[in-house]
A and B are shown apart, each in its own frame.
Chain A
Amino acid sequence: MSDTPGVADRRDAVCVIGAGASGLTAIKNLREQGFAVDCYERETSVGGAWNWRHDRSPISSSTHLISSRPLTEFPDFPMPDDWPDYPHHSQVLSYLERYAEHFGLGEHVWFGTEVVSAVPVGDGRWDVTTRSPGGGAERTQRYAAVVVANGHNWSPRMPEIEGEFRGRFLHASAYKNPAILRGRRVLVIGGGNTGCDIAVEAAQQAAEVWHSTRRGYWYAPKYVLGRPADQVNAVMLRLRLPLWLRQWLYKRSVATSAGDLTRYGLPEPDHRPYETHPIVNSQLVYYLGHGRITAVPDVARFDDAAVELTDGRRVEPDLVIAATGYRPQFEFLAPELLDLTEDGRPDLHLHAFARRHPTLAVVGLLQADSPALFPLAHWQSVAVARWLRLRTADPVRAAAVQQTESRRPLEQWSRARVMPTPRHWFEVSSTDYLKVLDELLKRLEPA
């Protein structure tokens, strides 16, 4: 490509979008493969979702990890071994800050800078336009590749509920601390980890709590047999127990802790364990059993001060919190670059590599069971960095790898057949996914 006036050419440098956990590990691993990196971050500090100061951070004051420390940390930078099994969100942030400092990543990040567009200009290169989030002058620079690490837990997915509601109605992303629950009558919609966490907090703070879920779930406790649940799950995976046996053991562990869930007014799960994103919450069932939470079905409609439920019941909360999840958002990319469907679902090889743009990748667009996201994002970014390196070092072999990869069938990288709701678009069984990445990494090994 010839010089374009007004576009600064950054030559072989790679552009990373976002400095959350995924962006940071992308910078580190691209640097390890010798790439110059410019990372753009709209906020003024690192940490992404785990930085409670960020206006888009989805965490609340009492969020703790649901994945235990050894299954959460980056594989080459452990968390301190004297931290608790399930660290507080402030510890996770300090961990990410230390990771950035330790590897000197901050010097590659342009803070307070938002990417507004990334456009392919032929030859695999990209024009990336940035500006400060409030607006201001735009600036365009040209890069050899773009790695998107913008996170997918910040754009609220609001339920469409017919009718008008007189009380307060918010999405869980706006819920920051339990003060707003105190003394209120609260309805929480959604049975993901957020909905369960908020329902439990409401049980401790509010006057009355209804928890509305549109199906039954398998509520796993944080500890099984005296160990963090994901560590016990890893024992089963290590023993290569088949899925049906793991499902049976999962049911047994729920049966021996909570027992029959329908006794608490919860619906019978309409799916087997592992077929929805795991919920890890020891306290929900506890508070149901204490009558502090009332389980109710899906919401049918709002009717002024009342909320009508699908079983015809009417409840009168003064606060409704929709913990109905988030939608992925790539506002700086034309939809066809990620092969987005009508409803916004990207189609990427391994949920990471753009099918028609070999120099465009997304890191962290996964819903992992265990191990959790950080290690997966680490290995994804190692693969992306190695792939980009191979493309320049050995184009012939890179083309061969692309050939074999593009012939791999579309899979879910999940052994269980997960529920076809939007939140499961990126659901993977972490160990299955890591095995596939491992094979890819071997093929990307320099000759």
Chain B
Amino acid sequence: MTLLRYEDWTSPVRPVRREVLSVVPDDATEPPVLFVPGPAFGAWVFAEHWLGHAAGRGFPAHALTARAEGGLREYAHDVVQVAAALPRQAVLVGHGVGATIVARALGRYPARAAVLVSPVLDRWATLRHALTVNPAGTVPAVFGGRLRLNGRQVTADERVRPARLPSLKNPDKPVGDPPVLVVGSPDDKVVPRASLDRTAARYGGAPLLFPGMGHDLMTGDGWAEPIDAVLDWLGKELL
């Protein structure tokens, strides 16, 4: 909880045009869900399957592309802006670095619930892990440059961009005390299993695991199982 927010008061984040893709069911019965990809991906990564699927289950579904230039503060600002513009209190679902963005946004916006998918909260553990599978793509990131994911780590797609890994050592406690779920795969080639456990423990739980899948649970053949599990969990939490 931060009451004195000099940074926001003295240098407010500059507004940008934001790309938001949405699939909204005609008869929404559930709260809106805002999907937040990391800057390596864009809203497109959720538009492929998860948006439509969530909407099919009654959740107005939105995905936000990270702004071109910016750090964690600007990314989280955009998430809170988009969430607050939705008609009802939103569920935030972040993936990869997007989960880090969501973790930060949770300190500023009382989400209805939050889901951290393959979260990259633990920057060094991620880099160590990624080095073993993709040294060439990872070394620049160790020195503050961009991480270039390869085909062993995520489904190959020319839209995946190299991106910086921001660090968020101690995210603010989520405001409004929302339920938080951590989801991942023990076979993720970006985020190690131990790091999933640590992130889940920080939010008072254990991760929900999908063995045999990669870092990007929302693409590839197995995309339906994790999103269904997430929506089932939401269904129970939002009762």
Contacts and interface: CB of A to CB of B under 8 A. Distances in A.
Interface of A: 32, 69-71, 75-78, 80-82, 98, 101-104, 230-231, 234-235, 237-238, 370-371, 379, 431, 434-435, 437-438, 441
B9 A78 contact: no
B67 to A, nearest CB: 12
Contacts of B81: 78, 80-81
Determine chain A's interface SS by DSSP, over half rule: helix
Determine chain B's interface SS by DSSP, over half rule: loop
Given A32-B176, A76-B175, A104 B4 contact: no
Interface stretch (B83-91, B156-164, B191-199): B83-91
Interface string B10-43: 1011110000000000000000000000000000
A234 B6 contact: yes
A325 B177 CA distance: 40
Given A76-B110, A77-B109, A371-B9, A438 B4 contact: yes
B19 to A, nearest CB: 15
Nearest to A378: B3
Contacts of A81: 12-15, 77, 81
Contacts of A76: 108-110, 175-176
Contacts of B68: none
B169 interface: no
Interface of B: 1, 3-6, 8-10, 12-15, 77, 80-81, 84-89, 108-110, 175-177
Nearest to A79: B84
A102 B3 contact: no
A234 B10 contact: yes
Contacts of B87: 101-102
B6 A238 contact: yes
A70 B175 contact: no
Contacts of B175: 76
Contacts of A379: 3
A102 B112 CA distance: 11
A441 B2 CA distance: 11
Contacts of A230: 9
Contacts of A75: 3, 5, 108
30 contacts: A70-B8, A70-B9, A70-B12, A71-B9, A75-B3, A75-B5, A75-B108, A76-B108, A76-B110, A77-B84, A77-B109, A78-B81, A80-B85, A81-B12, A81-B15, A81-B81, A82-B15, A101-B87, A101-B88, A102-B86, A102-B87, A102-B89, A234-B10, A235-B6, A237-B6, A379-B3, A435-B4, A437-B3, A438-B1, A438-B4
Contacts of B6: 234-235, 237-238
A238 B77 CA distance: 21
A104 B8 CA distance: 27
A371 to B, nearest CB: 7
Q: Which 9 A-B pairs have the closest CB atoms?
A: A238-B6, A234-B9, A81-B15, A434-B3, A70-B12, A82-B15, A438-B3, A235-B10, A234-B10
Contacts of A370: 9
Given A78-B84, A104-B88, A434-B3, A32 B177 contact: yes
A238 B4 CA distance: 9
Contacts of B177: 32
Given A231-B12, A238-B9, 18 more contacts: A69-B12, A70-B12, A71-B9, A75-B3, A75-B5, A76-B108, A76-B110, A78-B84, A81-B81, A101-B88, A102-B89, A234-B6, A379-B3, A438-B1, A438-B3, A438-B4, A441-B1, A441-B3
B89 A104 contact: yes
Nearest to B90: A102
Nearest to A77: B84
Nearest to A382: B1
Contacts of B15: 81-82
Contacts of A435: 3-4
A183 to B, nearest CB: 42
Nearest to A439: B3
Nearest to B8: A70
Given A76-B175, A81-B15, A434 B4 contact: yes
